[in-house]
Amino acid sequence: MYFGNVVSGSEIHIDGFKYFSDYHSIDNDLPTIIVGWGLVKELYGDTVSILHKCIDQKTFWTFNLKERKVDYEVDIEKFKEFTYNIFGDNVPYVYLDILYSKKSTTKKIIKKILTLKESHIFMSENNMVYIFGENIIFGIDLNIIGYFDDKKEKVLDRIKKLKNSVLIDSKIFNNYRDFLFKIKNKNRLIPYIIKNGDNN
C-alpha cells in the first residue's frame, strides 16, 4: 500500500511511495510530487511557477538535489506529511449511532453490515469495532451498546459470524504499527489497510 507518487528523471526510493520516471504512468488515485524544475517545466510549461510548489490539490513539485538540496529535503518531508494526513480520506466511513440516529437509518446500517459478502474486522482497545466491506468502513461503539442489557455480547456474536470475515488479531495488528504511526493512528483504517495491501 502506498501513500503517493514520486516522479523524477533519476530513481528515488522513499518507503511507502511509488517511483515513476514517466509522469503519464502514475497512479492517479494518489498525490504526486514531481522532482526537478526542468522536468516540471517540461510537463507544465509556463503554467507552473518557480515560486509556488503546489500545482493542484494533489500535485506538487520540488527542485532536485543538484538544483537546491535544502528545498528538496524540506519539500519531500512536507509532501510525506501531507500524504500521511489525507490517507484514507477517500474511504467512506459510516458510524452506527444507536443513540441519535433515526431508527430506520440504524436498521439500514445494520442490514448492510449483516449482508456484506466479505469483511475485515478490528476491535480496538477502547471497544470500537471497525468493519471494512464493499469499500465502506463501519464503526460500532461497544461501550454505548453495552448500556442496553446484554446487547453487547449479541452484537459481538453476530459480528464474528459475518460471512467470509477476517478477524484481525493482535499479531496482525502489530505488523502494522509503524504504518499506523505515520497516519496518526487512524484505527478505523486498520481493516482497510490489511485488506488492500502490505505494510511496506
Q: Across the chain, what does the average pLDDT equal?
A: 92
Residue owning grid cell 496518526:
184
DSSP character at residue 127: S
Whole-prediction pTM: 0.86
| pLDDT digits 0-9 by tens, 83-129 | 999 999 999 999 999 889 999 999 999 999 999 999 999 998 888 99
Terminal Cα-to-Cα distance of the chain (whole angstroms) = 7
Give 59: exposed, middle or buried? Use CB within 10 Å, 0-12, 13-18, 19+: buried
Report the distance separating Cα 127 and Cα 165, nearest Å.
19
pLDDT in tens, the chain (200 residues): 899 999 999 999 999 999 999 999 999 999 999 999 999 999 999 999 999 999 999 999 999 999 999 999 999 999 999 999 999 999 999 999 988 999 999 999 999 999 999 999 999 888 899 999 999 999 999 989 877 766 778 888 889 899 899 999 888 888 888 888 999 889 999 999 999 875 45
Helices (H) and strands (E) in the chain, counts: 8, 10
The closest of 30, 10, 7, 70 to 197, measured between CA atoms, is: 30
